[in-house]
Amino acid sequence: AAIPALNRIGIGPVGLFRMAEGESTDVYVLLPHRSAESLLTMTEKLGEDAEFLEAGAQFLGAPKDDPAYQRFESSLLLAFDGHPKLAVPSKKDSRLFQLRIYESRNMERAQKKIEMFNAGGEIEIFHRTGLNPVFFGEAIVGSKLPNLTYMVGFDDQAAMDAGWAKFRADPGWLKLKDDPQYKDTVSNITNLVLRPVACSQI
């Protein structure tokens, strides 16, 4: 019900993912907004969409003793200059995605890591080595601040392993990672391997 309604108000493609392995019931939703107004008016517009309200009635009106979900958490990300638009790298049924969060110990180091991706050329290296970026975003609101968050996509597990192996051996990356100006820009990395659910548009 939600994805068609979101598309009707200009939000899309919508990504919907679960962990590739394990028993987690968490769902990860990616909503690309073209403007701040799109984000600020989304709930109001969905509430005015009769088709959405009817199609999603069972979920939206779930009773207290059988809730549709426990709680959700959101992050607002600002797209990088070097990758301003979301990309859909693969539509194979076997596709996998990595959602990676790079935390920094302070804002200065966080901005330097973002510079490393943009001006430093790390995004270009991603493309060259088959890491297939979906998005790169600076976290403006959310948890684990300051951080940058990005997603890369692959046809399958073998392509993911091959892409990272090629990246780690790339001469441009070997030079960039040893550049002293980018030292200690990342204090912690969260790496989630996700698989899209059937209705995902990414």
Instruction: Using only the alpha carbons of the chain, give its radius of gyration.
Output: 18
- What percent of the residues of the chain are helix, what percent strand, and what percent coil, each to the nearest 5? 35, 25, 40
51 burial via Cβ count (<10 Å: 0-12, 13-18, 19+) = exposed
Q: What order of strands is seen across the sheet that includes strand 133-141?
A: 28-30, 15-19, 188-196, 96-103, 147-154, 133-141, 76-79
At residue 22, the pLDDT reads 94
Each residue's pLDDT expressed in tens, for the chain with a length of 202 residues: 999 999 999 999 999 999 999 999 999 999 999 999 999 999 999 999 999 999 999 999 999 999 999 999 999 999 999 999 999 998 999 999 999 999 999 999 999 999 999 999 999 999 999 999 999 999 999 999 999 999 999 999 999 999 999 999 999 999 999 999 999 999 999 999 999 999 999 9
pLDDT of residue 136: 98
Contact between 6 and 86 under an 8 Å Cβ cutoff? The reply is: no
Could you please report the per-residue DSSP string of 147-201? Answer: EEEEEEEESSHHHHHHHHHHHHH-HHHHHHHT-GGGTT--SEEEEEEEEE-TT--
Q: Cα separation of 193 and 152, whole Å?
A: 10
Tokens (6 digits) for 80: 């990088």
Rounded-to-integer distance, Cα 198 and Cα 165, Å? 29
- Residue 194's CB: how many other CB atoms inside 10 A? 23
CA distances from 75 to 31, 50, 92, 117 (A): 10, 28, 27, 20
Rounded-to-integer distance, Cα 13 and Cα 34, Å: 11
What's the pLDDT score for residue 41? 98
